């Protein structure tokens, strides 16, 4: 190689390395973020609308792969013309939307004509051919359900292929024969690290190809790529990256693709305190995917030590929304009680409401709460149902709620016909006509010397003094 050619070669790659950085991607996020996605509850209608603007862009090749159980279309978006093929599929669990948001952020950036990341994008598209499936389970997304309309977990259907969605993914894999695969999920917000209440913002895993310690070259490459990505993430979200639990599941798609020779990575979008719509997590998730594609395009992750993969801490689901510690439980034992909250879509209004439930009762020493209260052996007493019905919601004032909770009532009856969203959007639990005391449960008051300190309704502390 002549000296002039060598200098030109070095200058090109020097310029390429400075044309983007993880920090730039984070700082510039608002400039390429898909502005039409304002919360995490996207549906198939949103996907169709978002894809419309790319149909006339020759960079994007959009096609319908098939339909879900309820006949919603499932799309694939193809980008690039490189030798290395990468398949990325999102939201096979309908209630796990972070990667879907990130995929459209990536599309938005690629479509920008005057982006400062032009060289970076060209490098990816010249070296890779990308195949995105933005929403594999549109029926589940419609109701914010994990499973599909057959009530089957698509990620446990890689072998039996009982669902049309699993058959679509398998067929796409067989036709594409991807070199790399990204199985894009969300873990719930209760995953964190054993010694503290830190949440896990991102979790990664190289799914095992077999149920023993046997490995394949592609599995080792998956570990190397994860090590590379973890090193980047630690600069921006230190001690917030975990390894997802490594349990071999032969019916899962991650294990299936890994066993077939595809270098496969599981990415789990996690949680940041206060980021209920996952917009901050979305930012780091988008940066992660960009960095992963860059690393694959240049193959610069190959020098990483796969053994460093095992240094990434395993995140565990030991967090809760609320823990009341050191209380006298209803069974008379001194112990703890831990609560969590579930997001449920109301089928009438279409709005999302929160429903609390007891997750654990007894010894919660190995658990942490986002909110904790030391009861100092005060008594946890099951809340009572106030049996005199109210005509409608308007007739229930905050002063009345305060008075009822002070008397130990946590549940009321309302004659007005209400949606679940209306019933659960209060500081007291609302039930329809005909509800009996035996029908209620899960709400409490904390009492000391027969005086109510506060109520616990729908996994929230209800302060009687602040209502």
Using one digit for the tens of pLDDT, what is the confidence trace for 179-233?
Answer: 999 999 999 999 998 777 889 999 999 999 999 878 899 999 999 999 999 999 9
**Assigned token pair, 416:** 């007005």
What share of the chain in percent tops pLDDT 90?
A: 88
Hey, what domains does the chain have and what are their CATH numbers?
A: 15-311 (3.40.630.10), 319-463 (2.30.40.10)
Query: Could you give the CA distance from residue 430 to residue 383 in angstroms, rounded to a whole number?
Result: 13
Query: Could you give the CA distance from residue 396 to residue 196 in angstroms, rounded to a whole number?
Result: 40
Q: pLDDT by residue (tens digit) across 423-448? A: 998 999 999 999 988 888 999 999 99
Distances (CA, A) of 361 to 189, 324, 330: 20, 10, 10
pLDDT at 438: 86
pLDDT at 5: 43
Query: Could you give the CA distance from residue 287 to residue 314 in angstroms, rounded to a whole number?
Result: 22
Compute the average pLDDT of residues 38-57.
97
Q: pLDDT by residue (tens digit) across 223-281? A: 999 999 999 999 999 999 999 999 999 999 999 999 999 999 999 999 999 999 999 99
Compute the average pLDDT of residues 283-298.
97
Distances (CA, A) of 144 to 95, 137, 138, 155, 220: 4, 10, 9, 16, 35
pTM (predicted TM-score)? 0.93
**Assigned token pair, 2:** 């002549």
pLDDT at 20: 55
Q: pLDDT by residue (tens digit) across 122-133? A: 999 999 999 999
Q: pLDDT by residue (tens digit) across 8-27? A: 444 444 444 434 567 899 99
Query: Could you give the CA distance from residue 77 to residue 213 in angstroms, rounded to a whole number?
Result: 36
Picking from 183, 346, 199, 153, the residue whose alpha carbon sits closest to that of residue 265 is 183
pLDDT at 466: 54
pLDDT at 39: 95
């Amino acid at each position: 190689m002549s000296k002039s050619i060598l200098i030109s070669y070095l200058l090109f790659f020097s310029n390429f390395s400075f044309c983007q950085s993880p920090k730039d991607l984070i700082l510039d996020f608002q400039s390429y973020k898909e502005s039409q996605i304002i919360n995490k509850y996207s549906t198939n209608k949103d996907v169709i609308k978002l894809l419309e603007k790319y149909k006339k862009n020759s960079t994007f090749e959009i096609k319908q792969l098939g339909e879900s159980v309820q006949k919603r279309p499932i799309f694939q978006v193809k980008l690039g013309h490189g030798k290395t093929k990468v398949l990325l599929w999102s939201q096979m669990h309908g209630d796990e939307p972070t990667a879907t948001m990130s995929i459209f952020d990536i599309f938005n950036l690629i479509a920008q004509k005057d982006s400062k990341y032009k060289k970076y994008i060209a490098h990816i598209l010249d070296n890779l051919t990308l195949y995105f499936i933005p929403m594999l389970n549109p029926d589940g997304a419609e109701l914010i359900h994990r499973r599909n309309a057959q009530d089957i977990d698509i990620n446990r259907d890689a072998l039996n292929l009982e669902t049309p969605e699993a058959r679509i993914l398998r067929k796409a894999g067989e036709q594409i024969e991807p070199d790399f695969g990204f199985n894009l999920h969300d873990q719930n917000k209760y995953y964190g690290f054993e010694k503290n209440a830190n949440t896990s913002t991102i979790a990664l895993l190289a799914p095992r190809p077999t149920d023993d310690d046997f490995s394949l070259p592609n599995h080792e490459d998956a570990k190397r790529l994860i090590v590379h990505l973890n090193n980047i993430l630690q600069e921006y979200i230190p001690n917030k990256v975990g390894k997802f639990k490594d349990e071999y599941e032969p019916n899962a798609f991650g294990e299936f693709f890994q066993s077939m020779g595809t270098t496969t990575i599981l990415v789990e979008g996690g949680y940041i305190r206060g980021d209920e719509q996952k917009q901050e997590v979305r930012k780091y998730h988008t940066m992660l995917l960009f960095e992963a594609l860059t690393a694959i395009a240049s193959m610069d992750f190959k020098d990483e030590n796969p053994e460093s993969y095992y240094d990434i801490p395993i995140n565990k689901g030991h967090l809760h929304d609320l823990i009341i510690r050191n209380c006298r439980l209803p069974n008379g034992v001194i112990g703890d009680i831990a609560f969590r909250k579930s997001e449920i879509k109301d089928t009438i209004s279409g709005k999302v409401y929160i429903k609390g439930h007891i997750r654990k009762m007894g010894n919660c020493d190995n658990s942490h709460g986002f909110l904790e209260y030391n009861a100092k052996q005060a008594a946890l007493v099951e809340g009572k149902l106030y049996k005199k019905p109210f005509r409608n919601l308007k007739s229930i004032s905050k002063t009345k709620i305060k008075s009822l909770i002070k008397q130990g009532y946590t549940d009321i009856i309302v004659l007005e016909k209400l949606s679940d969203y209306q019933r659960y959007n209060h500081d007291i639990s609302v039930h329809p006509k005909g509800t009996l005391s035996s029908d209620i449960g899960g709400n409490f008051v904390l009492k000391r010397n027969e005086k109510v300190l506060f109520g616990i309704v729908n996994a929230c502390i209800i302060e009687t003094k602040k209502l």
